[in-house]
Structure 1
Amino acid sequence: MDATKGNIYSILNGNKQFLIPVYQRYYSWDIEQCKRLWNDIVGMQKKNKQGHFVGSIVNIAEQAMPTGVQKYMIIDGQQRMTTLTLLLIALRDYSIDHPEDISINFRRIDNMLLKNEYENGDERYKLLLTENDRDILINLIERKPISENIVSRLLTNHSFFVEQIEKKELMPAEIYESIGKLQIVNITLDRAVDDAQAIFESLNSTGKELSESDLIRNYILMGLENDEQSFIYEHFWRPMELMFDYEKQGTIMDKFFRDYLTMKLTRIPKINKVYEEFKLYHINCEFSSVADLCEDLLKYTKYYTDMVFVRNSNPEIKNLYADVNDLRMEVAFPFLLKVHNDCSEKIITEENLIEILKICISYVFRRSICDIPTNSLNKTFATLRNEIKQDDYMNSIKAFFVLRDDYKQFPNDDKFENAFCSRDIYNMRSRNYILSHLENYKNKAPIVIENYTIEHIMPQNTNLNDEWKKELGPNWKDVQKKYLHTIGNLTLTAYNSEMSDKPFIVKMEMEGGFKESALRLNSYLVKLTEWNENHIKERAKLLTDKAKQVWKYPMISEKELAPYCVEEKLVHKYSLDTYDFNVFTKTLFEVLDKRIMNLSSDVKREYKKLYIAYKVDTNFVDVVVQKQRLRISVNMKFTDIYDPKGICKDITGIGRWGNGDVEVFMDHTSDVDNVMEIIEQSYKQQEE
């Protein structure tokens, strides 16, 4: 390893070329990072500082040639090097466009810092980016026109520097001088000695952090020989990246890898451990080569991006993808990846796929209406593939949902109806989705919900006029409070502002009123001359009946369900009476149980044969009832626990009922605060 301190001028000067290998991420600095660099340059010059350290550039020198260009593969530092190149281009162009300003020599910038003056082709350029960005940077260097339709951070950031130079906060010569004061450590690795992969993982001192997908791409491609690296990139990785939206690529790709691993492993990797989990998966996966693994990734990327970006040639599936996005059902993606692949492999039909999508949508939607906490959904969908029986695919999925009577329950029609009629729909995030689907169900000419606004038939004004008070009756305040935001009192209109607080009959007869409305949501209203509690309830019942058809409960016959009922009965059901409490330990438990359950509405209690478990996604604490005390297993590594009072015991590798490496006892009700300080650490760790 050879490390030298210098600046961008000394690094670029000479017959050199810096290449960005295919495993590196695209140029990803935003305006925020450019502003920080610019402020460093301005501040340094105005304060007359002699230098400012901006980071390092790590590269591997290609085999030296007796003549021609010496090439370096950049391992780390392409973001700052590219950004400084954009600034130099903007400074050079200013000099060209302002010949009266002779303080900057544009030829020096052009021929020493941007180009290798006497070379041709790609070797002409000091910096050569990856495929997606290469042509844009070359066009900027060559001052060639660029299509207005191209979206690129290179163009955005170049424009930022052009604007800053024009503002004359610093004179051009001062900018050039200050750039030279930016201190950079140039580190050149020895390919035979230095571990480039390990160095890449550890380097990320400034700028934007490497995403999990950046690290995975590097891990996959960096260790390959050049020919195989190019083949894998061009045939698998590049097509995969192109399926993602340019602006959101990094974020969504990170989510894809997490969901892909969840689907493969049937457990959810921690959000900041995806790269580590991927490396372990690669070592133990079913694929014999990197090419086979990348081919699998490409296949699942297609399923994933189709769902995320709502792409499918089948209009019904495309609409279901839109529903999945409207309901923010990302938690279902791991399971849906499995189902899509089974459809592709002809294990199930496209009709089966459509039915499964509908079941999943109904499951998530009905639970939201019934106000069931969503924290268990990710675990449910992560492990749902384990419930599938290949010889009875559809029934095994339906049976799983139908037979749930715990926190994973699929609300049946009775529970859904009771909740849907009384739920505050207006203040739900999904209110437009709900009204749109009620209106458009089996409608051959569906409306576009964005062209309408939500109308409260009974107005929101707490000081109703006399006509409304008369219609609603002497208890009008109670009626308004109870039904105002419920489905029975909500509709759509294009004339919301005109209707305002007007009496019902005026809303009916006015131009553009309910009587003229072609909306199905208003078909019940046109028969009425007044609006009161009974009509609200009656309309709510009609709309709820339709909702039960839109978001159906899984249909499975008793005969089809019977084999799964037998399996369910084999599972023991435990309760509080399972445990050997005495008066003292029962009091201890009641005090502790109340405190744990009050941590959040997301916390669920489960009675196991030997202990009582508390979980969010998985158990964070388990309680074992002993004769005179409670033994508490905290699901954390002992080395991660903060225990200033020294009440915890390390049980790593020791057989105990419950989960985790931390044990603590509760001997008296006065211990509860100290015990909860330990338990809360496990709860918060699971919430992260």
Structure 2
Amino acid sequence: MMDVQETALRTILDGTKQYRVPLYQRPYSWEKSQVQRLWDDIERLASERTSATAAGHFMGSLVLSVGRTGPAGTEFLVVDGQQRLTTLTILLCALRDYVEKNEADGHRRRTMLHESYLVNRFSEGDGHLKVLPTQADREAYRAVLDGRAPEDANSNIAIAYKFFSQKLRESDDPEDLHDIARIEEAILEGLVFVSITARGDDNVYRIFESLNNTGKPLTQGDLIRNYVFMRLGRAGDEIYDSTWLPMQRLLDPKDLQQLFWLDIVMRQPLVTQTDVYASQQKRLEELPDDEIAAEVRRWSGLATLLATMRDPSREQHPELRKRLTRLKDWGTTTVDPLTLQLLSRRADGIESADAVADTLRIVEGFLVRRIIVGRATAGINRILLAASSEIRRDQSSTDAIREYLSTGRKTYGTDGEIDVAVSTIPFYFQGRPAQRKLILQWIEESYGSRERVDPTSATIEHVLPQTLTPEWTKSLEPYVKEEETIESLHAGLLHTLGNLTLTAYNSELSNLPFSKKRVRLAESGFQMNREISANEVWTPKEIAARAIHLAELVKREWPGPLFVDKAARSGVNWDLAHRAVLELQPGEWTSYGDLAALIGTHPNPLGHHMAKVNLEGAWRVLQASGGISPGFRWADPTDLRDPLEVLLSEGLHFDSHGQAEPAQRVGAEQLAERLGLEPGEPLEGLSVPAGEDDRAERFLAQLEDHNSPSVQHGVLSLMRSWTRMGGELDYGWGESTSCVFLIPERIAGARRVRPIAIYPDLSVEVGFQHLVVRPPFDDVAVREEFRQRLNRAPDVDIAPSRLNSRPPIPIEILGDDVARQYIDDALAWFFKKFDENLE
């Protein structure tokens, strides 16, 4: 049952009673703005009561639970209202001390205020205090209560006491003998609460949880602490002192709240920070009360590790300290769950510090390589948050994380992509400025120079300057091709990694000719600058050579993915497409379909590839209709030119619908002729059989979104090969639109047979589970032969135990022409087996 009544502060505090703030409440947190608002209300109330003695001010509800009752009085647990109640007793302390020093009957009034409303005069220890805050506040509160200055002058309690003392001095009018008395009366008689007292079986914590808190909003961390100490009951005092309070002091409030999210997201990657309390409470409810203390101790251990993540200087192992420092400087907090899990594995003795450092090096390399290849942010939060759930207890974290980052749509830049990107991607615009600087700084550190240079004041310098001077223009002129201009050559080189370095005197170097710039670079403490200064000139040739050198440093410092999507083995001659684009003259255009036919691929991967490279003339590649692709972007994000205006200025004509003149189109056959290719079969790009609805197009769109151009080409090649041998394709209805390879009904009968299904965002799924009841594959020996044929492909390793399930093959493997051919051969054998069975 509950007792509800309107009660003045005098009645609440008078008598032998104690209001104990449970450990599940947060520490005192009122700040100056809240204290000021309360004081303004009290001043206004004191003024009103001069003419209306019954005037009052409603302070909200005070929710209490009856605790112990005995000769020493009654104990109440403060379920709601502790911030207000604590603030008012701090105000009474300030009033008590002020009247003692400044009022005629100060000693008498001081004694009355102190013994009637602040302490229980005949009780000792904690029972002496009428209001007993949580342990975190008791030292400061006792100091104020005893008339001493708190040790922590910046605590909220000390600040509130100081504020009220100042306001009392300001309010005391020497001409008015009763002004302070009126304030005292307003506080004790005019401030009114609705006192709600729970008795018997009322669930106090449920009441607290459901209250509409009108003070400072409770954080997710507050709610978790409240729940935990409600569960601990009186055992919570010892746990609070020994474990919770040290943890609370070790981390700032934001990181303490972050700790609970990190703990849950390591198990459930999709939990958001607004759902932390609900998720943790659900987990804790499944534990008996006696295991809650162990959870607090476990959190305390994690807090120590999180403190090391926030301050890596705490870490003793040099290499691990280096990797933690780099990730902290990088500023991507979504890597925190994985980092915390790795440090936990080290703390539990599962892995060594060296192994954890190796894994963090993989993560660091993943982040660096994505920046370099121009995919800094795509899906990064989702990828990193899910990483911690990929490590089994008995598995090497280095192997598990490298394999995880190497599969799916992670865009873990390959060595081949690094080789291309350093000369084509405008590195200066990738990622955040601080991250670009860090990469250059870490490359410098990879030289291993004994001379350590402080990079704090360094900024990124363009060796070939952003503004061309006559001298720089002259140095570029010999390298301008027929289809280029000085401006386009300059733009293509300017922001690439090969042309960038770090220097502390960027403004001094600026547009200086290289002959003078190299003198200053030779004096630099950075090894990379001394290397640049060793060149006599700085032309496209030197920039390209340095780009190759930096690519080698990047590949050496940061290992790449396990499954490599190299253009040389993809079966697609991307270089031929580049050369074809360079053959286009101003006033000419070609289509993505023409280029795709030239190199034997589909327009989608071709367009995806073109969007990633910085290629002169790329704006002359249009849609088949002659329209500009909606997805076209200049390589330089600061380039605001309208591609239509550029094409018009080159002499290309467009009709009223924005479609280019067909007579100015250069088709696939003409491109082949210009490139000197031998005449052969008619050029044909890849095509995909369309279904009766838009599912095929959805599949293609998802394939492009989640995979590199070479993987897209590999998937489409496998699909074309399957249909050419007589197979059929169907498409799934799920959010991830799959492409299912089917044996035709004329061969397989009414029950369709699927050897594989391709999920564009994940893998190639082998359908052994569906084959168990389909002759001849109901024979385990036949399924085993299919498994062995698939396993001939490099990096495919389906275990014998998976013959009754649906094992996945990483979709990236299809980007390798050799591996794809083995899988194609296995599918051809599969098709033939069904054909033979029909006969």
TM over 0.5, shorter chain: yes
Deviation of 1:51 after TM superposition, in Å, equals 4.0
Deviation of 1:83 after TM superposition, in Å, equals 2.7
Of the three residues 194, 214, 223, the one matched with 2:202 is: 194
C-alpha separation between the residues in 2 aligned to 1:230 and 1:322?
37
Q: What is aligned with 2:748? A: none
The change in CA–CA distance for 1:186 and 1:356 in structure 2 (over 3 A counts) is: same
SS in 2 for 1:5: strand
The change in CA–CA distance for 1:443 and 1:6 in structure 2 (over 3 A counts) is: farther
The answer (yes or no) to whether the contact 2:451–2:525 under 8 Å persists in 1 is no
In the alignment, structure 1 residue 349 sits paired with structure 2 residue 357: no
The answer (yes or no) to whether the contact 2:139–2:150 under 8 Å persists in 1 is no
Deviation of 1:199 after TM superposition, in Å, equals 0.5
SS in 1 for 2:433: coil
The change in CA–CA distance for 1:152 and 1:535 in structure 2 (over 3 A counts) is: farther
Deviation of 1:383 after TM superposition, in Å, equals 5.7
Q: What is aligned with 2:436? A: 431
Deviation of 1:135 after TM superposition, in Å, equals 0.6
C-alpha separation between the residues in 1 aligned to 2:332 and 2:730?
30
Deviation of 1:79 after TM superposition, in Å, equals 1.8
SS in 1 for 2:350: coil
Q: What is aligned with 1:613? A: 735
In the alignment, structure 1 residue 131 sits paired with structure 2 residue 241: no
Amino acid at match of 1:27: Y
C-alpha separation between the residues in 1 aligned to 2:509 and 2:101?
60
Q: What is aligned with 1:408? A: 410
C-alpha separation between the residues in 2 aligned to 1:46 and 1:503?
78
Amino acid at match of 2:271: P
Deviations 1:485-537 (A, max 9, x none): 4434443333345445544444444xxx3232222231223224554444444
TM-score, with length taken from structure 1? 0.71
The answer (yes or no) to whether the contact 1:457–1:490 under 8 Å persists in 2 is yes
Of the three residues 482, 487, 493, the one matched with 2:503 is: 493
Tell me the C-alpha RMSD between the 2 structures. 4.3
Amino acid at match of 2:132: L
SS in 2 for 1:59: strand
Amino acid at match of 2:453: I
The answer (yes or no) to whether the contact 2:391–2:401 under 8 Å persists in 1 is yes
Deviation of 1:609 after TM superposition, in Å, equals 6.3
Q: What is aligned with 1:390? A: 394
In the alignment, structure 1 residue 183 sits paired with structure 2 residue 185: no
The change in CA–CA distance for 1:145 and 1:282 in structure 2 (over 3 A counts) is: closer
Matches within 5 A, 1:246-257: 249=253, 251-257=254-260
In the alignment, structure 1 residue 312 sits paired with structure 2 residue 315: yes
- Gap runs ≥5 in structure 1: 558-574, 599-604, 616-688
Deviation of 1:43 after TM superposition, in Å, equals 6.1
C-alpha separation between the residues in 1 aligned to 2:305 and 2:346?
11
In the alignment, structure 1 residue 291 sits paired with structure 2 residue 293: yes
The answer (yes or no) to whether the contact 2:465–2:510 under 8 Å persists in 1 is yes
Amino acid at match of 1:81: L
SS in 1 for 2:138: helix
The answer (yes or no) to whether the contact 1:103–1:173 under 8 Å persists in 2 is no
Q: What is aligned with 1:19? A: 20
The change in CA–CA distance for 1:547 and 1:112 in structure 2 (over 3 A counts) is: farther
C-alpha separation between the residues in 1 aligned to 2:91 and 2:495?
55
In the alignment, structure 1 residue 550 sits paired with structure 2 residue 660: no
Q: What is aligned with 1:140? A: 144
Identity %: 28
Deviations 1:144-181 (A, max 9, x none): 24446x65333344445455556659976675565454
Q: What is aligned with 1:220? A: 228
Deviations 1:369-423 (A, max 9, x none): 4325443543554365345482666434433333x1x322422122234345533
Deviation of 1:207 after TM superposition, in Å, equals 1.6
SS in 2 for 1:450: coil
C-alpha separation between the residues in 2 aligned to 1:36 and 1:486?
57
The change in CA–CA distance for 1:497 and 1:70 in structure 2 (over 3 A counts) is: farther
Of the three residues 50, 62, 86, the one matched with 1:57 is: 62
The change in CA–CA distance for 1:90 and 1:578 in structure 2 (over 3 A counts) is: farther
The change in CA–CA distance for 1:485 and 1:116 in structure 2 (over 3 A counts) is: farther
Deviation of 1:53 after TM superposition, in Å, equals 3.1
Deviations 1:291-330 (A, max 9, x none): 3333333333333332233332213222222222222343
SS in 1 for 2:735: strand
Deviation of 1:78 after TM superposition, in Å, equals 1.7
Deviations 1:169-222 (A, max 9, x none): 9976675565454432222221x2211121111124212222222222222221
Of the three residues 396, 403, 410, the one matched with 1:399 is: 403
Q: What is aligned with 1:569? A: none
SS in 2 for 1:223: helix
C-alpha separation between the residues in 1 aligned to 2:735 and 2:357?
37
The change in CA–CA distance for 1:399 and 1:53 in structure 2 (over 3 A counts) is: same
Deviation of 1:229 after TM superposition, in Å, equals 2.5
The answer (yes or no) to whether the contact 1:578–1:609 under 8 Å persists in 2 is no
Identify the range of structure 1 (493-502 vs 160-169) with the bigger mean alpha-carbon deviation: 160-169
The answer (yes or no) to whether the contact 1:287–1:293 under 8 Å persists in 2 is no
SS in 1 for 2:64: strand
The answer (yes or no) to whether the contact 1:423–1:486 under 8 Å persists in 2 is yes
Deviation of 1:546 after TM superposition, in Å, equals 2.2
Deviations 1:250-277 (A, max 9, x none): x32332222212223x442233222222
TM-score, with length taken from structure 2? 0.59
In the alignment, structure 1 residue 524 sits paired with structure 2 residue 534: no
Identify the range of structure 1 (383-392 vs 300-309) with the bigger mean alpha-carbon deviation: 383-392
C-alpha separation between the residues in 2 aligned to 1:323 and 1:14?
60
Amino acid at match of 2:86: T
Q: What is aligned with 1:70? A: 74
C-alpha separation between the residues in 1 aligned to 2:465 and 2:107?
70
C-alpha separation between the residues in 1 aligned to 2:498 and 2:555?
15
The answer (yes or no) to whether the contact 1:19–1:72 under 8 Å persists in 2 is yes
The answer (yes or no) to whether the contact 2:441–2:502 under 8 Å persists in 1 is no
The change in CA–CA distance for 1:182 and 1:417 in structure 2 (over 3 A counts) is: farther
- Gap runs ≥5 in structure 2: 174-178, 565-604, 606-685, 706-711, 716-728, 738-839
The change in CA–CA distance for 1:348 and 1:144 in structure 2 (over 3 A counts) is: same
SS in 2 for 1:348: coil
C-alpha separation between the residues in 1 aligned to 2:57 and 2:494?
62
The change in CA–CA distance for 1:538 and 1:62 in structure 2 (over 3 A counts) is: same
SS in 1 for 2:262: helix
Of the three residues 205, 208, 221, the one matched with 2:213 is: 205
The change in CA–CA distance for 1:514 and 1:313 in structure 2 (over 3 A counts) is: same
The answer (yes or no) to whether the contact 1:104–1:172 under 8 Å persists in 2 is no
The change in CA–CA distance for 1:446 and 1:151 in structure 2 (over 3 A counts) is: farther
Matches within 5 A, 1:642-661: none
The answer (yes or no) to whether the contact 2:135–2:241 under 8 Å persists in 1 is no
Amino acid at match of 1:418: V
Deviation of 1:356 after TM superposition, in Å, equals 1.0
The answer (yes or no) to whether the contact 1:88–1:109 under 8 Å persists in 2 is yes
The answer (yes or no) to whether the contact 2:60–2:194 under 8 Å persists in 1 is yes
Identify the range of structure 1 (100-109 vs 432-441) with the bigger mean alpha-carbon deviation: 100-109
Q: What is aligned with 2:335? A: 332
The change in CA–CA distance for 1:287 and 1:37 in structure 2 (over 3 A counts) is: closer
Deviation of 1:94 after TM superposition, in Å, equals 4.9
Deviation of 1:440 after TM superposition, in Å, equals 2.3
The change in CA–CA distance for 1:398 and 1:270 in structure 2 (over 3 A counts) is: closer
C-alpha separation between the residues in 2 aligned to 1:133 and 1:27?
7
SS in 1 for 2:228: helix
Deviation of 1:117 after TM superposition, in Å, equals 4.6
Larger radius of gyration: 2
In the alignment, structure 1 residue 269 sits paired with structure 2 residue 391: no
SS in 1 for 2:331: coil
C-alpha separation between the residues in 1 aligned to 2:161 and 2:537?
64
The change in CA–CA distance for 1:500 and 1:65 in structure 2 (over 3 A counts) is: same
SS in 1 for 2:456: helix
The change in CA–CA distance for 1:32 and 1:276 in structure 2 (over 3 A counts) is: same
Amino acid at match of 1:312: E
C-alpha separation between the residues in 2 aligned to 1:536 and 1:97?
80
Q: How many residues align?
A: 573
